[in-house]
Amino acid sequence: MPSLAVLSYHRIVEDTDNKAWPYLERGTAVRARTLEAQLADIAHIADIISEDVVLEVLAQRQRLERSSIWLTFDDGYADVKRAALLAQTGTVFWSTITSTRPLPADAWYAALLSAHRTHGDLDLGFGPFEFDLSIPAGRARLVNGPERRSFLRASLTTQDATMNELARQLDANTAPDNLYLDESELRTMVDTGWSVGSHGVTHTPFDSLSADEVRNEGLTSRQALNALGRIRSIALPDGALAHIDALRSVGYDCVLGLGNAACAVGAEVQPRFLVPDDPNWVKCVLAPALIGAAHD
């Protein structure tokens, strides 16, 4: 039986983009030329299919004739429009808070990118450490250390206080420029064959929220997105598994997490491959995984 896999992308950047390094080092960006190479390789081994077809397959109302891929892009970055020029269909998972404020990770990266103080010592509550923003090794803790991980799970009030302190110590600002698709751009993508799904409201990992808070994230984001069409799927922020029943009660047909595996009919949460910035990834990782899943 042909296999089905879901791919998770975030940003698409150019080699010349000097504001992309936090995303590349964190693994939440691919270069445009990498995406082009990956899509070309996918065409040799699988079909790219729409969310509607995927959900019909998972509900066992439709069968695949060939191994297939569902392309998904988290967070609603504006540079996802580049993907729409290369692929006829895919799904953008949008955190609705981006209509009024940046996602926490993007505010954090904006501070790193705008820092006037680029080396020295920092202390954000987990003890002092030395940093140097000029080299990957010197900025690794700021890109994905305990300070940032704690910040992403904090309340909005605590996040604002932490960002003010980070900006003070780095002599930086925390306002990224025009990162996200707006509703008009999302509607244009929908009109060309793409779909929109929920990525929650605040992008807070659901395992740091209560069941009621998760239900509210799922319900509120779905209501905000309904003008763009039927919202059938939700992608878990950071892939955090928690309170799935609360999301099901809102009426989502599909819940997406992370995990390097093909889809399984009947699974409570479908895995997604988090795609790296590697032009050979499809040949080396995805193709063998699809073959293995087809033989299971």
Q: What is the CATH number of the domain that holds 231?
A: 3.20.20.370
Residue 275 φ/ψ, nearest 5 degrees? -80, 125
Distance of CA 35 to the CA centre of its chain: 15
Q: Do 95 and 109 lie in a common domain?
A: no
* Nearest C-alpha neighbor of 103 from the set 93, 89, 88: 93
Domains in the chain, number = 2
Q: Do 188 and 245 lie in a common domain?
A: yes
User: Which helix (H) or strand (E) element contains residue 225?
Assistant: helix 211-225
Q: Do 194 and 273 lie in a common domain?
A: yes
Locate tokens 């960006």: which residue? Answer: 29
User: Is residue 201 packed enough to be buried (19+ CB in 10 Å), middle (13-18) or exposed (0-12)?
Assistant: buried
Q: Do 109 and 81 lie in a common domain?
A: no
114, 146, 170 - which closes a domain: 170
Alpha helices, H only, 6-145: 21-26, 32-45, 51-58, 81-86, 104-114, 136-144
Per-residue pLDDT of the chain (296 residues; tens, 9 = 90+): 789 999 999 999 998 888 999 999 999 999 999 999 999 999 999 999 999 999 999 999 999 999 999 999 999 999 999 999 999 999 999 999 998 899 999 999 999 999 999 999 999 999 999 999 999 999 999 999 999 999 999 999 999 999 999 999 999 987 777 899 999 999 999 999 999 999 999 999 999 999 999 999 999 999 999 888 889 999 999 988 999 988 888 989 999 999 989 999 999 999 999 999 999 999 999 999 998 876 66
- As a whole number of angstroms, the distance between CA 61 and CA 59 comes to 5
Maximum distance among all alpha carbons in the chain? 59
How many Cα atoms within 13 Å fall on the side-chain side of residue 237?
29
Q: Do 135 and 15 lie in a common domain?
A: no
pTM above 0.85, yes or no: yes
Write out the residue range of the structural domain in which residue 209 sits: 4-99+179-295
